[in-house]
Structure 1
Amino acid sequence: MNKSELIRKVSEENNIPLEEATVVVGTFIDSIKDSLSEGDRVEIRGFGSFKIKTYGGYTGRNPKTGEMVTVDPKILPFFRAGKELKEFLNK
């Protein structure tokens, strides 16, 4: 499922116009992004949680050429599925 399919589903399930569903889904996603960018953890009970992990820079090796390369530090989002979602998928 992609974003436009989610918007369509929200519109159909709640009998609201597509434009309104677009605003709802956009606001939901933007709220998660804003919270993560501020360093907060986002938990959606029964679904899972999002948090930010920070990885330090290091010196690595290009496996194709063997050349040493510097890998910059990075910040990446991390999702952990909640218990209810895991149980739902494994029933």
Structure 2
Amino acid sequence: MNKAQFIEALAEKANLSKVDAKKALEGYMAIVTECMTKREEIVLVGFGTLIPRPQSSRLARNPKTGTPVMIKPRTTVKFKPGKYLLEEMNSK
């Protein structure tokens, strides 16, 4: 599902116009981005948790040349699914 399809589905499920659904999605993405930048967790009970996770620097290889390359430390996001999401995914 791409962003346009998601907006259409959100509009249908929440009984919103596509314009309002797009604004809601963009607002959600802005809040998530802001929280992840501040290294704050976002807990949506039953659905899941977004957790900013630091990664240390590490040595990797350039797949084309095979030369070693040092990857800088960075922060990634881990999603831990909630109980109800997992139950729904595995019930069928």
Do both proteins adopt the same fold according to a TM-score greater than 0.5, normalized to the shorter chain? Answer: yes
Residues 58-67 or 37-46, more deviating: 58-67
Equivalences for residues 25-40 of structure 1 within 5 A: 25-40=25-40
Question: In structure 1, what is the Cα distance between the partners aligned to 2:14 and 2:88?
Answer: 23
TM-score w.r.t. length of structure 1: 0.85
Q: 1:11: which partner in 2?
A: 11
Residue by residue, what CA displacement relative to the aligned partner does 1:29-88 show, whole Å, maximum 9, x if unpaired? 211111111110001111110011111112334466443221211111111111111111
**Structure 2 residue 28 is the aligned partner of structure 1 residue 2:** no
Q: 2:46: which partner in 1?
A: 46
Q: Which runs of 4+ in 1 moved over 4 A?
A: 62-66
Structure 2: 5+ residue runs without aligned partners?
none
Structure 1: 5+ residue runs without aligned partners?
none
TM-score w.r.t. length of structure 2: 0.84
CA-based RMSD of the aligned residues comes to 1.7
Shift of 1:14: 2.9
Shift of 1:27: 0.6
Question: In structure 2, what is the Cα distance between the partners aligned to 1:88 and 1:14?
Answer: 20
Q: How many residues align?
A: 91
Q: 2:81: which partner in 1?
A: 81
